[in-house]
């Protein structure tokens, strides 16, 4: 009897062990399936990623965005524009100038606000190429609404303009795109200049940066606009043969030196009038 009980016990253990092994194999099989599916989805999304120029090209050739059809809007391609965006690893946004854009202007002067139909249609279009709606550093108003789309290779911004009825202007939608590499280059250029400023000044806290640069032969200058909740700073840098130096803050100083656009203290005036800049800065900043 005792031997029979032992045999039954061994059989029960073997059955239990077999069940546990089966459950483990099933779990491993499920995990493998999930991993493969994720890999397929990731590969698919990555293959859909396209450049800024290709996004605009596809928009211009698309018939999927019915709200922007040629019956309602006329297209203007390669308009000067800009895109503001904040990369995930940065604490502030930058603005990049671009001509990779298309402006849709209403044919009818009485075209009503159609943002509610344009935005979801464009969102669906962008999603097809791996660009998803994300936070926009550009603030919307009653007349201007901004929607930003970010992807692996490009960032695009939709600007919906609904002018006041008595303004004489027409409803419009502008789509502008830049490559991620352009954004990275802009961050690098701004941080190179700020590193010069930080050598002799306390670091400025800001959430947005805009750099405007002009070059004539071997002379260049840049104004870097830094803004946040605090008063804006306008840092002026200049270079001869790409040797950059900081000249001053065009938003700081006694208001009696204000020109309306800048505050030009005697010290800053003396620096920008240096003959080595060939009059380039004086001509624009006055």
pLDDT band at residue 63 under the 50/70/90 scheme: confident
Answer yes or no: are the C-beta atoms of 208 and 187 closer than 8 Å. Answer: no
**DSSP strand pairing (93-98 vs 208-216):** parallel
Give the H/E segment covering residue 54. helix 52-61
Backbone phi and psi for residue 86, each to the nearest 5 degrees, phi listed first: -120, 115
**DSSP strand pairing (154-161 vs 73-77):** unpaired
pLDDT for position 47: 52
Q: How does the average pLDDT of the chain come out, rounded?
A: 85
Answer yes or no: are the C-beta atoms of 68 and 173 closer than 8 Å. Answer: yes
Q: Rounded CA gap, 55 and 52, in Å?
A: 5
Which range (28-37, 159-168, 171-180, 271-280) has the least confidence?
28-37
**Closest to 153 measured CA to CA, from 280, 267, 278, 55:** 55
Answer yes or no: are the C-beta atoms of 98 and 178 closer than 8 Å. Answer: yes
Answer yes or no: are the C-beta atoms of 211 and 186 closer than 8 Å. Answer: yes
Q: Rounded CA gap, 268 and 190, in Å?
A: 21
Residue 23 has pLDDT above 80, yes or no: no
What does the block give as tokens for 48?
Answer: 């859909």
Query: DSSP E strands: which ranges in the chain?
Result: 73-77, 81-85, 93-98, 101-106, 132-134, 144-150, 154-161, 172-179, 208-216, 219-227, 233-240, 243-249
Which range (14-23, 126-135, 175-184) has the least confidence?
14-23
Please report, for the chain, the start and end positions of each structural domain, with discontinuous segments joined by +: 1-48, 52-179, 204-284
Residue 26 has pLDDT above 60, yes or no: no
- Rama region for 179: left / alpha / beta (φ>0; ψ in -120 to 50; rest): beta
Q: Rounded CA gap, 100 and 53, in Å?
A: 6
Q: Rounded CA gap, 42 and 76, in Å?
A: 35
Place of tokens 């928009």: 59
Q: Rounded CA gap, 32 and 144, in Å?
A: 48
Question: Edge-to-edge strand order for the sheet containing 154-161?
Answer: 73-77, 101-106, 172-179, 154-161, 144-150, 132-134
pLDDT for position 247: 98
> Is-above-0.85 flag for pTM?
no
């Amino acid at each position: 009897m005792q031997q029979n009980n032992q045999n039954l016990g061994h059989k029960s253990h073997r059955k239990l062990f077999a069940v546990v092994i089966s459950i483990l194999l099933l779990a491993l099989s499920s995990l493998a399936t999930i991993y493969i599916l994720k890999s397929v989805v990731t590969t698919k999304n990555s293959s859909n990623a396209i450049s800024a120029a290709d996004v605009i090209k596809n928009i211009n050739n698309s018939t999927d965005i019915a709200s922007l059809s040629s019956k309602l809007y006329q297209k203007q391609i390669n308009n000067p524009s800009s895109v503001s965006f904040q990369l995930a690893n940065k604490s502030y946004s930058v603005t990049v100038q671009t001509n990779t854009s298309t402006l849709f202007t209403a044919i009818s002067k009485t075209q009503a606000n159609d943002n509610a139909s344009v935005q979801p249609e464009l969102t669906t279009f962008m999603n097809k190429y791996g660009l998803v709606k994300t936070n926009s550093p550009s603030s919307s108003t009653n007349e201007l609404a901004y929607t930003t789309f970010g992807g692996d290779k490009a960032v695009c911004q939709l600007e919906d303009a609904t002018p006041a009825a008595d303004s004489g202007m027409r409803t419009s939608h502008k789509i502008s795109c830049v490559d991620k590499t352009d954004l990275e280059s802009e961050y690098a250029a701004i941080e190179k200049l700020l590193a010069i400023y930080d050598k002799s000044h306390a670091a400025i806290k800001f959430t947005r940066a805009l750099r405007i640069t002009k070059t004539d032969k071997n002379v260049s200058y840049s104004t870097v606009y830094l803004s946040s909740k605090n008063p804006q700073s306008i840092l002026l840098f200049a270079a001869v043969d790409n040797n950059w130096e900081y000249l001053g803050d065009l938003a700081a100083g006694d208001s009696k030196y204000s020109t309306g656009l800048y505050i030009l203290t005697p010290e800053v005036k003396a620096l920008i009038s240096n003959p080595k800049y060939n009059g380039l800065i004086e001509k624009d900043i006055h």
